[in-house]
């Protein structure tokens, strides 16, 4: 859980009190043993969990967090649990020692021991999963004897199979004593074939496991966030309105847009564009072609207009659109139309077009609209020096 805390928490009272009461932090036991905390990238999951940690520590809980990282599947099995075990070894060395004595396997998860595991393949294979699961369960129970324990596993959209299996085990087996779990993940990362997607559905059906959604901030909250970040020289109302419109309640986007001296008519900040464009990495070339065309249309584009502009055969266009929707890049809207799941992503894609590509697509849109071949709103992105004005 590392997130900047330059400004006070804005909003999130409902989510925080739901977490505190469900996990039994205010009065043990709560109604749930575990919470799945879902929300889009940058919406504020970590910030909320930082606040939860403070409340829990204040109430006498020990909070241990482990993070999943964006690594190749299986390259570092049980990674967040290694981080957590490392903390137990530091903070409760006697407890860790006695659990390791009962479950020698656990020692191999300890930070520093992992290298030896991967060097010795036979030994790695003998790291019996059942034993590791039971050992970690036992560890949490043992730590929970002296003080209530909150275990946080962050960013499980990046969890590998071993970590997901460990979590399934921990969710399914009750603890003796005060042990609660919170697991966060990016809901917009869970594309159709993402391995966590079916897993989350299964976990949410278990007794004692609840799902809490962190939604985008509302307009008043975004306004407060902007003002809190810009106390010295308040932004002009026009800039505030522009940021509210573009960030769509996403705290990270708000910070990025406020953080640069940003001309509302210019391209979006390059660091923000990089973060957004990562979402396109797993798309195939044809889907990318359709997504790029959609970016020229503005916030919403009809199916017929896209068909006219891309010139793709119906089946090809449908396959590409399906893939863009399943990857959470586009979403369907009313009247056989599509829009970017996040408007800023549309802008980033537009800014990323090659100059010739942009001219070609604008021309194709104009031609399709003028010929009456397709109806639709006129392309609405700003014009840029590299591209013609639309229409």
Among ligand ATP, Mg ion, none, what binds residue 11 when CB lies within 5 to 8 Å by partner kind? ligand ATP
Q: Which residues are near Mg ion by CB under 5 A?
A: 45-46
Which residue of 33, 47, 292, 358 would you call a contact of ligand ATP, by CB under 6 A? 47
In angstroms, give the least distance from the CB of 9 to ligand ATP.
5
In angstroms, give the least distance from the CB of 253 to ligand ATP.
9
Do the strands 301-302 and 337-340 form a parallel or antiparallel pair, or are they unpaired?
Answer: antiparallel
Q: What are phi and psi of 223, to 5 degrees?
A: -55, -45
- Under rule CB under 6 A, residue 42 binds ligand ATP: yes
Tell me how far CA of residue 10 lies from CA of 39, 232, 295, 369, in angstroms.
16, 18, 32, 44
Which residue of 160, 255, 289, 351 would you call a contact of ligand ATP, by CB under 6 A? 255
Which residue of 24, 30, 39, 249 would you call a contact of ligand ATP, by CB under 6 A? 39
- Under rule CB under 6 A, residue 45 binds ligand ATP: yes
> In terms of CB distance, is 24 or 42 closer to Mg ion?
42
> In terms of CB distance, is 164 or 186 closer to ligand ATP?
186
Q: Are 108 and 117 in contact (CB under 8 A)?
A: yes
Binders of ligand ATP in range 151-190 (CB under 6 A): 186
Binding part of the chain for ligand ATP, among 80-88, 125-133, 240-248, 250-258 by CB under 6 A, reads 250-258
In angstroms, give the least distance from the CB of 249 to ligand ATP.
10
> In terms of CB distance, is 253 or 338 closer to ligand ATP?
253
Binders of ligand ATP in range 61-100 (CB under 6 A): none
- Under rule CB under 6 A, residue 7 binds ligand ATP: yes
Ranked by CB distance to Mg ion, the top (closest) residue is 46
Which residue of 19, 23, 41, 320 would you call a contact of ligand ATP, by CB under 6 A? 41
In angstroms, give the least distance from the CB of 55 to ligand ATP.
14
SS3 labels along the chain? CCCCCCCCCCCCHHHHHHHHHHCCCCCCCCCCCEEEEEECCCCCHHHHHHHHHHHHHHCCCEEEEEECCCCCCCCCCCHHHHHHHHHHHHHCHHHHHHHHHHCHHHHHHCCCCHHHHHHCHHHHHCCCHHHHHHHHHHHHHHHHHHCCEEEEEECHHHCCHHHHHHHHHHHHCCCCCCEEEEEEEEHHHCCCCCCHHHHHHHHHHCCCEEEEEECCCCHHHHHHHHHHHCCCCCCCHHHHHHHHHHHCCCHHHHHHHHHCCCCCCCCCCHHHHHHHHHHHCCCCHHHHHHHHHHHHHCCCEEHHHHHHHHCCCHHHHHHHHHHHHHCCCEEEECCCEEEECCHHHHHHHHHHCCHHHHHHHHHHHHHHHHCCCCCCCCCCCCCCCCCCCCC
- Under rule CB under 6 A, residue 11 binds ligand ATP: yes
| C-alpha–C-alpha distance, residues 221 and 216, integer Å | 10
In angstroms, give the least distance from the CB of 233 to ligand ATP.
19
- Under rule CB under 6 A, residue 10 binds ligand ATP: yes
- Under rule CB under 6 A, residue 249 binds ligand ATP: no
- Under rule CB under 6 A, residue 16 binds ligand ATP: no
Binding part of the chain for ligand ATP, among 6-14, 86-94, 124-132, 285-293 by CB under 6 A, reads 6-14
> In terms of CB distance, is 7 or 89 closer to ligand ATP?
7
Which residue of 44, 80, 298, 346 would you call a contact of ligand ATP, by CB under 6 A? 44
Site residues, ligand ATP (CB under 6 A): 3-5, 7, 9-12, 39, 41-47, 186, 225, 251-252, 255
């Amino acid at each position: 859980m590392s997130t900047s805390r330059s400004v006070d928490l804005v909003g999130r009272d409902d989510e925080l009190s739901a977490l505190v009461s469900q996990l039994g932090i205010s009065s043990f036991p709560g109604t749930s043993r575990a919470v799945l905390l879902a929300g889009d990238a940058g919406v504020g999951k970590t910030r909320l969990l930082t606040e939860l940690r403070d409340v829990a520590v204040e109430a006498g809980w020990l909070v241990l967090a482990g993070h999943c990282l964006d690594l190749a599947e299986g390259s570092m099995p049980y990674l967040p649990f290694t981080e957590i075990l490392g903390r137990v070894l530091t903070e409760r060395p006697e407890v860790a020692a006695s659990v390791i004595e009962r479950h020698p396997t656990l020692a191999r998860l300890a930070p520093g021991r992992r290298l030896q595991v991967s060097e010795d393949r036979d030994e790695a294979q003998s790291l019996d999963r059942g034993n590791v699961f039971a050992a970690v369960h036992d560890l949490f129970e043992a730590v929970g004897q002296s003080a209530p324990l909150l275990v946080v596993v962050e960013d499980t959209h990046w969890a590998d199979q071993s970590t997901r299996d460990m979590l399934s085990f921990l969710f399914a087996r009750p603890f003796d004593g005060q042990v609660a779990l919170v697991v966060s993940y990016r809901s917009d990362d869970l594309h159709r074939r993402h391995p966590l997607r079916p897993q989350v559905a299964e976990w949410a059906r278990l007794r004692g496991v609840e799902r809490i959604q962190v939604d985008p901030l509302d307009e008043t909250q975004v306004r407060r966030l902007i003002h809190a970040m810009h106390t010295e020289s308040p932004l002009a109302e026009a800039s505030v309105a522009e940021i509210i419109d573009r960030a769509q309640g996403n705290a990270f986007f708000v910070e990025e847009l406020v953080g640069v001296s940003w001309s509302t008519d210019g391209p979006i900040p390059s660091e923000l564009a990089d973060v957004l464009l990562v979402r396109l990495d797993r798309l195939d070339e044809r889907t990318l072609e359709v997504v790029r065309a959609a970016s020229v249309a503005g916030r919403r584009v009809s199916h017929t207009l896209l068909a006219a502009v891309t010139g793709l055969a119906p089946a090809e266009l449908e396959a590409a659109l399906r893939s863009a929707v399943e990857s959470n890049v586009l979403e369907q809207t009313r009247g056989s139309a599509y829009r970017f799941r996040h408007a800023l992503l549309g802008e980033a894609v537009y800014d990323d077009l090659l100059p010739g590509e942009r001219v070609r697509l604008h021309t194709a849109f104009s031609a399709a609209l003028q010929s009456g071949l397709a109806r639709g709103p006129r392309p609405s992105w700003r014009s840029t020096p590299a591209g013609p004005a639309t229409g």
